[in-house]
Structure formats: C-alpha cells, structure tokens
Amino acid sequence: MTAPLLELRDLAKGFPVRDAIGRRRGAVRAVDGVSLSVPKGSVLAIVGESGCGKSTLGRLALRLIEADAGEILLEGEDLRGLSARALRARRRDMQLIFQDPFASLDPRMTVEQAVAEPLRLHGIVPRAQEAQRVAELLSRVGLRPELARRWPHEFSGGQRQRIAIARALASQPKLIIGDEPVSALDVSVQAQVVNLLQDLIRELGLTFVLISHDLGVVRHIADRVAVMYLGRIVEEGPTRQVFGNPRHPYTRALLAAVPGQGHANAPLLEGDIPSPINPPSGCRFRTRCPYAQALCAEQVPPLEGASHLAACHFQNSLPPAVAGQDADTGGERLRRLQAYFTDQTQKTGELA
C-alpha cells in the first residue's frame, strides 16, 4: 500500500457557543475524533450534509485553524508540533482551493500578481523567470497567458476558479484540499472545472482531498470516500465499494438522493440534523435511522472494517436488499436503493 501523505489521528475541534451577553454556553463539536489516511497520489472525498464538519476538517488538516486534540501528519511530520515559522515554510506543500473564486482572489491584484505571489513567497523561481512561469501555469489551467495583466473582475466564475487553481499550483504543493471547488459555479462550467482538476491530479500526481456534497462529482474523481455525520466519520472506503455497497444507513440515504439518478423524490433523509451542540448519545445518526435499536443510544459504534469501514452496530444485519450487492454503481442499483428505502419508510410505523 502507498505510504500516506496525510494522516489525521483523532482530530477534534469545538467552537464555543455563547449566549446574548457573551457567556459560554457549551460548544459545537464540529469535528469529533476523526482519523483518516490519504495515500500519496490519491483523491479522498469527504461528503456529508451541510454543517457536518467537512470544511472545519479541511481547515484543521491545513492548520488554518487550530485543533483541540489529535495529530495531523504530513509525510509523517506532525504539523501541530511545528513553530509558526516552520509552518509557514511547510505551507508551500499544501494549498486550499475555496468554493468561492470571487472571494478567494484579491481584487487589487492582477492575475499575474495573484499567481506570482506564492512563487515569490516560497522562492520557487528566480524573479526573471516569474512571468514565464505564470504564463505556463495559466496555460496549464486552460487560460490564455495574455490575460495575465487583467483584473479578477474581468473574468467569469469558471475562469476565476481556474486562476485560483493556477495560484494553488504555483508553489508545487504535494497536497491540495478543494472545499466545494465547483459548487459556486454555473452548472454548465462545473464539468469543465471538474475535468481540469481530474487532469491535473493525474498528470501532476497530486494528492487531493475533495470536500463536496455533490456525489456525482465525487464518484467521478475520488479514489476513496469518507462520509461524515455530525462531526464523525460514519463510513470510509474505496469509492466503488461505498457507492456500490454502502454499509451505513446514512450513506445509503445520501446515495439514494443523488440527482439525475431517478431519486429526486425519494423521501429518505427525514427529520432535521440534530444540533451539534448536544448531539444524540451513542450513534449520532440513530434519531433519523429506521433501524435504530436500544444499543444505538447506549454505545458509540466503532468504525470497523478492513479497507471499507463503517460505524454501525448493525452493518452486518441490514436488509440484504441493499447490503451484499456487488459493486454495480449504475441506475439499477440506485433504483433498488430507492425501492428499499421507500419500503423501510412504510415499515417504520410498524417497528416503532
């Protein structure tokens, strides 16, 4: 197995919750004991509903915010142990692509200045070669180098995201985290930017962590998928297996709602996500799970498995209508999922 480039061990982060007069009234447990390993040259996707902690996890991994506990190992080196100076030097190896290319580019910098900044900051090329390197980076992301003197506001959303990607590539990073890198773009340009990312990942051998709620994109580019729910990983494994044979009820529900796969009307994820300030005991998904039993409230299910892991006490006894299918990720599979869940929703009343 390829050595991990990035390893997260038991990472945790809470945000204080204050009342109207500023007194601390608890904490949002945004990330709660997450362990993940990202092999060199691979793409790991982190998926889950809004508010489950995906962005927080991405920012923790890059030490853009500080963790409360846990380890972040980049090529075996614990980033949490680095001094501010050492961390600045290490930043060259890890970059973040934000969701909103309008916010991530400084409107007072030309494209050339924006892309050259990391080159200069990390001493990547001598000054005399800067313009040439910027031109190469722009062509690499599909933009004409003559556009280098223009300002960000002169570009469309898709072009700006290409500029942001060129800037992220400038320092020749080993790790890129893309936080919803295409979700702010027009649907018509999303596929182009996804294809660009996929080409870059392949050609440059990048290690990429894709944070996304778009399972279509994830299925397209990720080697492995980690599913988050209320600050924890509930399932993690090879993309084909997680999509083809999801082992956690939450993953099944998420998958059945993939748009464009005939599941638009599947009423699967019922009820709101519980508050992360006071999450349910035991399995956090139990309050929305049609299979929850007493044990689920009492014990936190461990994330178990060899290469494909899931945190569900009953993962081996879920109805065979879904579990145990081979890795068929086509529409038929999704239709079966839909039928299965519709059936379960009807039965929930009988089981209660």
Q: Closer to ligand ATP by CB, 16 or 267: give it.
A: 16
Asked if residue 51 binds ligand ATP (CB under 6 A), the reply is yes
Q: Pick from 42, 55, 95, 241: which binds ligand ATP (CB under 6 A)?
A: 55
**Residues between 327 and 346 with contacts to ligand ATP, criterion CB under 6 A:** none
Asked if residue 54 binds ligand ATP (CB under 6 A), the reply is yes
Structure tokens at 133: 């390197």
Residues 265-294, mask of contacts with ligand ATP (x by CB under 6 A): -----------x------------------
| Paired residues of 158 in beta bridges | none
Dihedral (Cα; 261, 327, 225, 281), 10-degree rounding: 90
Three-state SS for 207?
A: strand
CB burial readout 279-315, b (16+ within 10 A) else e: bbebbbbbebbbbbeeebeeeebebeeeebbbbbbbb
Q: Pick from 15, 102, 151, 314: which binds ligand ATP (CB under 6 A)?
A: 15
Asked if residue 52 binds ligand ATP (CB under 6 A), the reply is yes
Q: Pick from 32, 34, 45, 53: which binds ligand ATP (CB under 6 A)?
A: 53
Report the nearest approach of ligand ATP to the CB of residue 210 (Å).
13
Long-range CB contacts for residues 90-94, cutoff 8 Å, separation at least 24: 91/122, 91/171, 92/118, 92/122, 92/124, 92/171, 92/172, 92/173, 93/171, 93/173, 93/174, 93/175, 94/62, 94/173, 94/174, 94/175, 94/176, 94/177
Asked if residue 30 binds ligand ATP (CB under 6 A), the reply is yes
Asked if residue 225 binds ligand ATP (CB under 6 A), the reply is no
Report the nearest approach of ligand ATP to the CB of residue 64 (Å).
11
Q: Closer to ligand ATP by CB, 28 or 61: give it.
A: 28
Q: Closer to ligand ATP by CB, 148 or 258: give it.
A: 258
- Binding residues for ligand ATP, per CB under 6 A? 15, 28, 30, 48, 50-56, 213, 276
